[in-house]
Amino acid sequence: MEDGFVYCHDVSPLVNALGCPYVPNDWRLFIDSSKQSLKCVLLHNGNKFSSIPIGHSGQQSGYTKYPCFLCLWDSRAKSEQYSRQSWPARTNLNVGDKNIIHEPLVDPLKILLPPLHIKLGLMKQFVRALDKEGNCFKYITENFYYLSDEKRKAGIFDGPQIRQLVRDDNFQIL
C-alpha cells in the first residue's frame, strides 16, 4: 500500500499462490474506474479461473478544485464552466500541487481520450460552450437529427454517441 493505492507489482507469485498456473498470454488486464475508485484485475482468457485483483485506489474525497489530471479545469469556477472553452494544460505534475497525490503512471501526452473528461460531463460542457450558429454545432445537429433540440443544446449524449463523434474524422477537422 502506498498512500491509498494498493497494488501488486509481482503478479506471477500472486497467481501461483492462489493455485493457478501463470502463463502471461493466458491472462488479460482489465481496468475499471468510476467516480469513486480505480480497480485493476487480471482475467483469465478461458474463464477457467476467477478474477484476481491486483490494484485498487479510491479518489480524493471532498469537493476537489482541480479534478482533471490533464488540465487545470477549475470545478469551483461556476461562472466560467459553460462560457470558457479552453483550460490551460497541466505543466507541473509535482506531488502535492493542485490535487496531485501520486506520480503519474502514464505520460499525459500518451493519453488519447481522457475518460475522466467524459465522466465529469465535459462533453455536455463542450456542446453548451459551442457557438450555436457555428459549423461544429451544425454538424452535431445534422448527425444527431433524431435527438430533440433541447437535448442537443444541453449536450446530453450517451456513451455510443460520444464515441461516434470522437471517431468521426470530419468532426475532428471542425
Range of the domain at 67: 63-111
pLDDT of residue 174: 66
pLDDT of residue 114: 55
Give the Cα separation of 53 and 169 in Å (integer). 37
Residues of the chain with pLDDT under 70: 1-7, 34-36, 58-64, 69, 81-82, 111-122, 174
Q: Are residues 126 and 90 in the same domain?
A: no
pLDDT of residue 49: 83
Q: Are residues 13 and 37 in the same domain?
A: yes
Q: What contacts 128, CB < 8 A, 6 or more positions away? A: 82, 153, 154, 155
Residues 129-140 pLDDT 10s: 788 888 888 888
pLDDT of residue 18: 82
Q: Is residue 68 part of a domain?
A: yes
Residue 157: other Cβ atoms inside 10 A = 20
For cell 456513451, name the residue.
Answer: 159
Q: Is residue 135 part of a domain?
A: yes
Q: Are residues 139 and 174 in the same domain?
A: yes
pLDDT of residue 61: 58
Q: How many domains does the chain have?
A: 3
Q: Is residue 116 part of a domain?
A: no
Sign of CA dihedral 128, 123, 147, 142: positive
